[in-house]
Structure 1
């Protein structure tokens, strides 16, 4: 099992880790692969380049004991003149075939979701990102970790 997890993270590193342009990366690890809604998942970060568009990305790492095809989350972004929040559905498995939509071999899969694209922070300063699952179960089994990333938006040369 540990060997499979290592392989998944190695693949994830090559797929996502080679993108060294992320400004912020916060990893939320869940002991015993159980995301307890009571466990507060948040991070604070500093924006020094307002007017630069950013992409806010969420990576979800789940395993075979996760019992659902989707994951409902609520996120909140707060800071200088900013208050963004939303509840969204993250689709982990194809609705018709049941096949995972993530990357990886074996029981562990990695999924990438865009929370906000081309987001512009209006001012420099400290911002806070908070994340929680809003599934019916208080303790959500099968979620190993969640990674929050902020990276500058890559603009096309034609823009």
Structure 2
């Protein structure tokens, strides 16, 4: 029930944002079906279409974690592939999910679930029209990373806010 309500609220929020081009999230589980575990072999890919190559875009990573996540940060490597199959960029990101000193969650949420929308690729220019693929992989020092519930990608037209 909780997952359904969260999905509905994300859908309602997304429908109000005219700059959004794409958003998709993937629930994580290990090979045995245990939920909320991001194993190093699991590399979610997200495919989105770019038609306007003159526009700048902001690419965000969505992270949902449980309160019992064991670290204050999360290392994620991305690989962005162009429509012609060539890699556009590969980068390692450190994302802070908790305050390192206090342990307080930095994302939005309530209870024991927290959501983070982290600007990963600001003002990204896509040089070719077509389908791009963005693949994420966890780069922590353990094979199975419990407490990461879902990851996702959001692509929006870059807007300058006053």
TM-score scaled by length of structure 1: 0.85
Instruction: Give the corresponding residue for 1:45.
Output: 48
Instruction: Give the corresponding residue for 1:59.
Output: 62
CA distance in structure 1 between the partners assigned to 2:26 and 2:10 by the alignment: 16
TM-score scaled by length of structure 2: 0.84
CA distance in structure 1 between the partners assigned to 2:26 and 2:152 by the alignment: 6
Question: What are the Cα deviations for residues 20-66 of structure 1, in whole angstroms up to 9, with x where unaligned?
Answer: 53111121111311111112211222211101000000111000221
Gaps of 5+ in 2: 30-34
| Aligned-residue CA RMSD (Å) | 2.4
Partners of 2:59 and 2:121 within 8 A in 1 = yes
Partners of 1:12 and 1:110 within 8 A in 2 = no
What is the CA-CA distance between 1:6 and the residue it aligns to?
6.3
Instruction: Give the corresponding residue for 1:113.
Output: 118
CA distance in structure 2 between the partners assigned to 1:82 and 1:138 by the alignment: 25
**Counterpart of 1:23 in 2: which secondary structure?**
strand
Partners of 1:11 and 1:104 within 8 A in 2 = no
How many pairs does the alignment contain? Answer: 154
Select between 99-108 and 27-36 the one with higher mean Cα deviation: 27-36
Partners of 2:57 and 2:124 within 8 A in 1 = yes
CA distance in structure 2 between the partners assigned to 1:15 and 1:96 by the alignment: 35
Instruction: Give the corresponding residue for 2:24.
Output: 26
Gaps of 5+ in 1: none
- Misfit runs of 4+, over 2 Å: 9-21
Instruction: Give the corresponding residue for 2:77.
Output: 74
CA distance in structure 1 between the partners assigned to 2:109 and 2:94 by the alignment: 21
